[in-house]
Amino acid sequence: MCLVGLTVGQLLEQSAARYADNDALIVPYQGLRWSYGELNRQADEMAAGLLALGFAPGDRLGIWAPNMAEWVALQFATAKAGLILVNINPAYRLAELEYALTQTGVRGLITVPTFKTSDYIAMLNELMPELAGSKPGQLKAQKIPSLRWIITLGETATPGAITHEEVRAGATNATRVQVQTLGLALQFDDPINIQFTSGTTGRPKAATLTHHNIVNNALFTGLQMKLNHEDRMCIPVPMYHCFGMVLGTLCCVAHGATMVFASPGFDAESTMRVVETERCSALHGVPTMFIAALDSPGFAERDLTSLRTGIIAGAPCPAELMKRIMSEMHMDQITIAYGMTETGPVSTQTTVDDPVARRVETVGRVLPHTEIKIVDDKGHITPRGTPGELLTRGYCVMPKYWNDPEKTASAIDEARWIASGDIATVDDEGYFQIVGRIKDMLIRGGENIFPREIEDFLYTHPAIEQVEVIGAPDQKYGEEVCAWIRLREGHTATEEEIRAFCKGQIAHFKIPRYIRFVDEFPMTITGKVQKFVMRAQMAQELEQAKMEGTQ
C-alpha cells in the first residue's frame, strides 16, 4: 500500500463523493444522524464561517470539549480552512489551560459551557477577567495575549463570546469560494493538529502533526482491521486524544465507515447499549474501558454479535483480558495497536488474520512505510529477542513540538529517529512485544524486573479483575515489588493467598512484597493508569509506617 498525498479535507471530500448517502456520524444522545454528504456540508459551512471571522491558514484554534457531533465537524472544518486545531483535554484546569493556550498562541477557543463538574465559562472568566466586557473578536487578555475569539457550543453565548451557530451563519459566498480554493492550495505536509502529551513528568509537550502524518496513519490502521463502508465504529475514547480523532473519526472517514458516539464522556453502560442498538461492528478502547464494559450492568444479556473488530491501545492489554474480549464480546478480529502521540499515533498493529496467540501476546508488526529499531543503553541495535528501547522513523513521525525547538531536538535525532521510552523485543517473524516502560522498570537488588510480566501472570488468578505493579522504595534492595489489585465482584482474596499463588510460578524476587487491595486506580481521562501517582502514594505510606515503626 502506497502513501497517499491527501489533506484531511481532501480525504473527507473523497469519501463524501463515494458514500454521499451513507451514514457518516450517529450521535444518539444528541438525536443526530449525518450522512457523508451532510458531514461534508457541515464542515464546509463551518470552515467558511471561521474564515469570515478573519481566521487565516496557519492560525491556531483550540477546542476544549467532550465527544459530540460538533467536534467532528470542527475537525474537518479547521482542516479545510487551513487552521491548526489545538486539542485541549476536557479535564484541564486553569494552570494547564493557560499553558496550552499560551504555548500554542491560539487565536480562538471553542468550548462547551459545562461538562460534568467543570464550569468552563467560569474558568475562562477567572483566567481572563477581560472577557465579559469584551466584544466578540476583540478580546485582549493579559494572560493570553494571542486570543481574540471565544466560541461556545451551545444555544446562547456568554458575554464576550459568539456561538458555534453564529459562526456558521456568518459564512459568505466569498468565504465559501475561499474554502474551495484552499482545498487545492493546502499542502499535505502542512501542520494541522497539535496534541498535548500526557505530561506525567514536567510540562506537557505540544506534539505537532501534519495532514500526511495522520491521514496515512488512519488509512493503514483501518486496513489492519479490514474496515470498510459497511462497518459502524463506536468511539468511546476521547476526541481530544489521537485515539479518538485519528484511529476513530479519521480512520472511519478514510474507509467510509460510520462513526458512533455513545456519550460525551466514556460510560460503559451507554457504550454497550449503543453498540447493541446501532449494531456496531467495531469498538475502540483502552484496556480499562473494556474491563468496565465487561462488568457493566446487563452485559450478559446484551446482543453484541454485530461486533467483530476494533483497536485496543493506550496501555498494555493483559492476555487474559484479551481472551475475554474475543470470547464474551464476540470481537474475534480485535487488533492491538502500539505507538505514541508523536508518531501519528500507531507504529505497530496486529491484523485480523494474525493467529490468536500473536494478537494476545504481541503488539503486531510494523505498519507500512514505518521503521523500528530496538537499541541498548549505548544506542546499539540489540539482537532479536533481546529487550531494548524502541525507536521509530518514517512518515508518521511529527515534525516538531510546537514552539519548542529544544525539546524537539532532544526527542528526534539527526537521522529522524524518535525514542519511545518503551522497552520492547522483536522476534524472528517481526512481531513486537512491549515488556515495560524504562521509567516503570524496577531494579530489586540488581535484578531488572518488568511489571508487565508480573501483571500478566497475576491476571490468571480467578479473583483478580485488574492489577498494576510498581516499584516501592526499599532500604535493603533499592526497590521492592508492589501490586495494587482490584478484585472481581463477589470474590475475595488475602495477601497471603496472592503470594501463595505466585510461589513456584514466578521467580521469588518477582513475588510482590507489598499488596494493596483497591477499588479504583488513579487514572487519566483516557483511562491510562497513573503509576507515578501510585509510586508517590506508596513511598509516602511506607515512610509514614517507618516513622511509626510499623513497617
Query: What's the topology of domain 8-19+30-199?
Result: Rossmann fold (3.40.50)
Strand partners, 352: none
Per residue of the chain (551 residues), give pLDDT as tens: 899 999 999 999 999 999 999 999 999 999 999 999 999 999 999 999 999 999 999 999 999 999 999 999 999 999 999 999 999 988 888 888 999 999 999 999 999 999 988 899 999 999 999 999 999 999 999 999 999 999 999 888 899 999 999 999 999 999 999 999 999 999 999 999 999 986 444 578 999 999 999 999 999 999 999 999 999 999 999 999 999 999 999 999 999 999 999 999 999 999 999 999 999 999 999 888 998 999 999 999 999 999 999 999 977 788 888 989 999 999 999 999 999 999 999 999 999 999 988 988 899 999 999 999 999 989 999 999 999 999 999 999 999 999 999 999 999 999 999 999 889 999 999 999 988 778 787 878 777 788 888 998 999 999 999 999 999 988 778 889 999 999 999 999 999 999 999 998 887 889 999 999 999 999 876 677 888 899 999 999 998 888 887 65
Fold of the CATH domain 442-548: GMP Synthetase; Chain A, domain 3 (3.30.300)
All cell numbers assigned to 489: 465482584
List C-alpha distances in Å: 460 to 331, 453, 457, 464.
20, 12, 6, 8
Nearest-CA neighbor of 4 among 247, 210, 268? 210
Domain ranges of the chain: 8-19+30-199, 442-548
Q: Which residues contact 326 (CB under 8 A, 6 or more apart)?
A: 332, 334, 356, 359
Q: Is residue 297 exposed (0-12), middle (13-18) or buried (19+ Cβ within 10 Å)?
A: exposed
Is the torsion defined by CA of 119, 125, 128, 134 positive or negative? positive
